[in-house]
Amino acid sequence: MSETLWLGLAVWAGLINAIACGLMGIDKRRARRQVDRISEWHLLVPVLLGGAPGSLAGMLLFRHKTRKRSFQAKWLLACLASLSAIGAGAWWLTQA
């Protein structure tokens, strides 16, 4: 793969993980202030796009959604879907 593609993937990974972590922090702050929350769907979209490590870091750092088993199950499914897509993409790139 070209150097440019690797750089693009690294930038994407950094951004999506920072967004995923930040969303957890923002939602935790909103929960404490009892104002409108970020929907679970919007918390899970970055996970689907490769932000699982950032989302997990945000969950642990902000102690957010760590006791919500239903969210954790959805989070795990999103991680598995993301890993499947990444694996399929990696396979496709090696076949080209």
Tens digits of residue pLDDT in 1-39: 688 888 998 999 999 999 999 999 999 999 999 999 999
Of the candidates 45, 50, 3, which has an alpha carbon nearest to the alpha carbon of residue 23?
A: 45
Is residue 64 left, alpha or beta, with left meaning phi > 0 and alpha meaning psi from -120 to 50? beta
pLDDT above 90 as % of the chain: 82
Q: pLDDT grade, residue 96 (50/70/90)?
A: low
Sign of the C-alpha dihedral computed for residues 68, 74, 75 and 77 taken in this order: positive
Is the pLDDT reported for residue 89 higher than 90? no
**Cβ atoms of 62 and 22 closer than 8 Å:** no
- Res 1: pLDDT: 63
- Res 63: pLDDT: 96
**Cβ atoms of 21 and 57 closer than 8 Å:** yes
On average, the pLDDT of the chain sits at 94
